[in-house]
Amino acid sequence: MLLAALLSCFSIFSNQPAQAQTSLIQNAPARRVLSLNGSWNYIIDPYENGFYDYRREAFDKSASGKGGYYDNQKPSNSQEPELIEYDFDHSAVMQIPGDWNSQDAKLLYYEGTVWFKKDFKLKPTAGKRYFLYFGAINYEAHIYLNGKKLGMHKGGFTPVQLEITDKLSASGDNFVVVKADNTRHAEEVPTINTDWWNYGGITRDVYIAETPATFIVDYKVQLAKNDPANLAGYVQLDGAEKAGQTVTLNIAEAGLKQTLKTDADGRATFRLRAKKLKLWSPLSPKLYAVTLTNGAETVQDKIGFRTIQTQGQDILLNGKSIFLRGISIHDENPLIPGRARGEGDLRMLLTWAKELGCNYVRLAHYPHNEIMLKLADEMGLLVWAEVPVYWTIAWENPTTYQNAEQQLSDLISMGKNRASVMVWSIGNETPLGDARLKFMSRLATKARALDDTRLIAAALELHRTPDNVVHVDDPLGEYLDLASFNEYAGWYWGGKPSEITKYTFDIKYNKPVVISELGGSALAGYHGDAETRWSEEYQEALYINQIKMLSTIKGLRGLTPWILVDFRATRRQHPVYQNGFNRKGLISNTGQKKKAFYVLQEYYRQQAAKYDTGK
């Protein structure tokens, strides 16, 4: 049984040690049997009274395991009822998925513990297995079912899944309790200092997945590395009878079908000739219905097939040169306060990117919703997917590294069948140093070991010299496929927008250059001349001159300016121009397109005419 393997590397069972996760359930939403989205009761607990006793000992580590809020204790009918100082059933409710900052005014800036409780009915069926699945909980989560601890997870943007087969009530009456804690810590990933809002809570879908006793836990169906004529991958079963099983792979539209036999570990690999496949691209985002069958179980997915590689300073998609017309995006709905809550919010963001002329998006600075990757597949947008190794991490802390590696592994597991994902990014703007280089190069090596069919990147460091040369010679670049970096000429350095064209670039690496961030802030509706900071005209001039400056880079193959939409950021405190928002968006938090939007849109129109027609 693979229960231990299906829990996060930071999961803890009652009084048992942590056990490592090897794989998330691939395409878990396809196994959904019961949604737990909707109203959850919640209790704010800044002193963590529901977790620790007055001696600061955790209730769930005591001999009885009793005493915490997770017991969901009710008054008894005895003549001497117990003292109970909490009551979920009479507590306020919050909509899940959703962050607490935007749903309760008391919690706008709150960092700490909030308890959540949901009652549900599910009577287990004999011969079936059940997994409780959370798309994301920020940041540290302790999860309990019917008063028993299932596990603990760290990481605010990767899925949490726990097997509950033997813990469901025979009567069908169940309750789940979650202790969510978004407190920032120096040794965590991300660390204390970030430039986005620290939304707390259960921020993505919650559901229970049902599987057979032996089931398809994982699979990869993609083109072999740089080979458009061969599919290669694997299928992994989990269960007591996983060895020697037959699994059928079928892509009916392409006339491809192969029967596989699992080995002693429940794994079957394949390589399949596939000459007639129509390849996926932004211009033609073709997806095939892929079916995997094992006994009575059938798992269906929609998968696109394409190759991505670099050649010198060029990026080749399906063997043809491509220019990445991109934009950066946060996982936040600007029109409604809070995290993006579902497909409607996410589709809106990607539709705006398409209107801008994008064929590419950078999903910064952490793993985004799995739905986002599927929408990118459908809508024809290439993706840079990233883990929150952001700014200054505790580089020499082994636990911090293991946390980062696990989040990277989960991101790759979640996105490995998505044709849209072309880049795994291992971090953003991390400062130079030996410990950092060791940490980051290990992540790069891990990413290649997990997936050798995509590009590995990070936002590199740069430095300037008095002769107006911008040098890109960060030693981490040796381990990556792209010379990608953030530069903010005209905003944080370089003078006025009109002055930045004097800068030239000295890039050490003979690799494709992708500018992972550029830009400056503008308050929508505030107007002045091209030298008036915070005005739309200043941002417009900045983009005009950025394009002139960057066009001199010989190996320029794409950019993802910062950012599509204004987003909430506690660091941004100017009471007139920011008011708690990072205003670098090309679209305001009310949906208004700023003047710079049209500058970039026109540049992308020109690039599309050049590359999409082969001119």
| CATH code of residue 78 | 2.60.120.260
Find, among 355, 388, 252, the residue nearest to 605 by Cα.
355
Q: Is 495 exposed, middle or buried (0-12, 13-18, 19+ CB in 10 A)?
A: exposed
pLDDT at 615: 39
Same domain assignment for residues 287 and 318 = no
Same domain assignment for residues 297 and 325 = no
Name the pLDDT band for 557 (thresholds 50, 70, 90): very high
180 pLDDT higher than 90: yes
Span 306-360, pLDDT tens digits: 999 999 999 999 999 999 999 999 999 989 999 998 999 999 999 999 999 999 9
DSSP assignment of 45-64 equals -TT-TTTB-TTS-BGGGSSS
Domain assignment of residue 317, yes or no: yes
Residue ranges in 468-590 assigned as alpha helix (H): 536-550
d(CA 569, CA 255): 50
Domain assignment of residue 222, yes or no: no
Domain assignment of residue 219, yes or no: no
Domain assignment of residue 284, yes or no: yes
pLDDT at 1: 39
Name the pLDDT band for 613 (thresholds 50, 70, 90): low
Number of domain units in the chain? 3
Q: Strand locations in 434-503, DSSP E?
A: 455-459, 463-465, 469-472, 483-486
Same domain assignment for residues 323 and 291 = no
Same domain assignment for residues 247 and 342 = no
Containing domain of residue 427, as a range? 309-611
Same domain assignment for residues 450 and 360 = yes
Same domain assignment for residues 411 and 529 = yes
pLDDT at 14: 35
Q: What is the percentage of the chain residues whose pLDDT exceeds 70? A: 95
Last residue of a domain, one of 252, 279, 305: 305
Looking up residue 275, the CATH number of its domain turns out to be: 2.60.40.10
Domain assignment of residue 249, yes or no: yes
Span 355-366, pLDDT tens digits: 999 999 999 999
Last residue of a domain, one of 188, 212, 236: 212
Amino acid at 381: L
Same domain assignment for residues 235 and 204 = no
Q: Give the lowest-confidence range in 23-27, 305-309, 369-373, 583-587.
A: 23-27
Same domain assignment for residues 195 and 116 = yes
Encode burial over 527-552: b for 16+ CB neighbours within 10 A, e otherwise: eeebeeebbbbbbbbbbbbbbebbee
- Residue 404 contacts residue 208 (beta carbons within 8 Å): no
Domain assignment of residue 189, yes or no: yes
Domain assignment of residue 220, yes or no: no
pLDDT at 79: 67
Last residue of a domain, one of 305, 337, 370: 305
- Residue 528 contacts residue 496 (beta carbons within 8 Å): no
Same domain assignment for residues 291 and 348 = no
Same domain assignment for residues 190 and 262 = no
Domain assignment of residue 221, yes or no: no
Find, among 303, 307, 317, the residue nearest to 254 by Cα.
303
Same domain assignment for residues 385 and 236 = no
What does the pLDDT average to over 366-390? 98
CB atoms within 10 A of CB 288: 21
Same domain assignment for residues 410 and 548 = yes
